Amino acid sequence: MSPERQRVPVLDVDATPMRVDEVIDAMGGIIAAGTTATVLGHNLHSITLFHSRPDIRSLYRNSSIVLLDGAPVAMLWGLAHKRQLQALGAGTMSYRLGSMDWIPELGQVKGLERIAVVGAGRTANTKAVARLRSIVPGAKVDGMPGEGWDNALEDAVVDWLADFRPQLVLLGLGMPLQETVLHRRLQNLPPAVYCAVGGAIEQVAGIQKLAPRWLGRLGLEWAWRLVLHPGRVAYRVFVEPWKLAALLIGRRFQPSKTKGK
């Protein structure tokens, strides 16, 4: 399937449905070109932010790659593109990609020699850097923790990235902080592939337990997270879908000139 933008119905957003090998190839192409690109994931939380915050909406609309991260988003996209999937003999969930679906395959990215890991606590960041050195043998991998993020730390990270000049950056500050940082600082950052990966740094480090991938294919990864982190996930599971529904209904009745802002 072509990595071109395709609309996700009902949610009124564009995504870039890709499989792991396509993401890896796309990253290699961006690195070879020496340009700047962003890789984001869309789930119900990001779509709620998309419809409620102009800065997040702008970042997603200008992103190079927007993956179908959340199962509900992937399912809605699959329903709208059922004929395409049937022609390809592909299942909807083969296009549902979380960060931990492609990070372990970074060793296959052509020309990848320098990786920056920004985010998580010091211990998790250090362990993630060590793990990535084994995933991408020979690459120079370094990191900066993101705990206690403030303006001073943000400036320090921008300066560090300018000196390090990585080709790929894993930015794991949690949503929406990581997206906010990308939106306001991307023009000041050196050319690279900037990937918003949320809690994946702790998962790469082995500190946060990763849900079995078969749960993700069934669209049940949210249940795993709810059990492990009820305080963090309950709002997103039980409240945020209703908030999103209200936002979608409200935007539907807005004057058309305001919807594109």
Residues 134-186: tens digit of each pLDDT: 999 999 999 999 999 999 999 999 999 999 999 999 999 999 999 999 999 99
Give the separation between CA 17 and CA 77, rounded to whole angstroms.
9
Asked whether the beta carbons of 61 and 257 are under 8 A apart, the reply is no
- Work out the mean pLDDT of the chain and round it to a whole number: 85
How much is the pLDDT for 165? 98
Q: CA angle 68-85-93, nearest 5°?
A: 40
CA distances 109 to 31, 137, 155, 261, Å, are: 9, 12, 29, 35
- Residue 63 — left, alpha, or beta (φ > 0 → left; ψ -120 to 50 → alpha)? beta
Q: Which of 3-7, 112-116, 143-147 has the lowest mean pLDDT?
A: 3-7
pLDDT tens-digit readout, 23-73: 999 999 999 999 999 999 998 889 999 989 999 999 999 999 999 988 788
pTM equals 0.83
The encoded tokens of residue 249 equal: 């209904």
Q: Which of 90-99, 130-139, 234-243 has the lowest mean pLDDT?
A: 234-243
H helical segments located in 144-235:
151-164, 177-185, 200-205, 213-217, 221-228, 230-234
Q: Quick one: CA torsion of 185, 47, 31, 100, rounded to 10 degrees?
A: 110
Segments of 62-125 assigned E as strands: 65-68, 114-119
Give the separation between CA 170 and CA 12, rounded to whole angstroms.
27
DSSP symbol at 70: S
How much is the pLDDT for 71? 79
Q: HSE (CB half, 13 Å, CA atoms) of 190? A: 18
Report the length, in residues, of the chain: 261
β 114-119/65-68 pair status:
unpaired
- The enclosing H or E element of 195 equals strand 193-196
How much is the pLDDT for 258? 44
The encoded tokens of residue 67 equal: 């993956």
